Amino acid sequence: MNATKSNKSGRQTRRKSATLTTKVLYVEHDNNNLYMLKTRLERCGDLKVLAADDSARGCELAVTERPDVILMDLEMPVMDRWEAVRTLKKDPRTQNIPIIGMSAYAEASEREKAIATGCDEFDAKPIEFESLVATIRRVLAKSK
């Protein structure tokens, strides 16, 4: 995006506006999935991906890094599968960060449980990349 700006002599100059970067926290225990999706998301150009390989670390990073959105695998080691979502939504420092729950269990009941637990959205695995990016952008637009 270009912006027009007047300099001291009154002439207008064109400059590029800074690109806004969205900070995404991806919590995923499978290193192959983590690497693949992190790489693809960062190729979008405006997404910076932080990674955690377990739920407890994901909750810590959410507090310290304050991401714009969290992608949370719902089948994680260390914490009960719903406990991380509950923990993040109870904490005043993280409660307003949108969470997109992800699971290989694609039944409607899984989506309903994710939303009831505190996820803002749900996406089934295997991930359909373009759909996930659209979901991230939609959730971010709602949270502004």
Do 78 and 123 contact (CB within 8 A), yes or no?
Answer: no
What span, in angstroms and rounded, lies between the C-alpha atoms of 55 and 44? 25
Do 98 and 120 contact (CB within 8 A), yes or no?
Answer: yes
| Of 109 and 27, the one with more pLDDT | 27
**Would 99 be classed as within a structural domain?**
yes
**Would 60 be classed as within a structural domain?**
yes
For residues 82-87, average pLDDT: 94
- When divided into structural domains, the chain yields a total of 1
| Of 6 and 119, the one with more pLDDT | 119
**Would 44 be classed as within a structural domain?**
yes
Four-residue CA torsion sign, 35, 120, 112, 129:
negative
| pLDDT number for residue 135 | 96
For residues 78-103, average pLDDT: 92
The mean pLDDT of the chain is: 86
**Would 3 be classed as within a structural domain?**
no
Please give the model's pTM, rounded to 2 decimal places: 0.84
What span, in angstroms and rounded, lies between the C-alpha atoms of 24 and 100? 11
**Would 1 be classed as within a structural domain?**
no
The first and second tokens of residue 66, run together, are: 């304050």
**Would 77 be classed as within a structural domain?**
yes
For residues 128-141, average pLDDT: 95
Assign residue 51 the CATH number of its domain. Answer: 3.40.50.2300
Q: DSSP assignment, residue 8? A: T
For 92-130, the pLDDT digits (tens) are: 999 999 999 999 887 888 899 999 999 999 999 899 999
**Would 12 be classed as within a structural domain?**
no
**Would 65 be classed as within a structural domain?**
yes
Do 81 and 62 contact (CB within 8 A), yes or no?
Answer: no
Q: Is the pLDDT of residue 4 over 70?
A: no
* Chain-centroid distance, C-alpha 6: 38
Domain range enclosing 124? 20-143
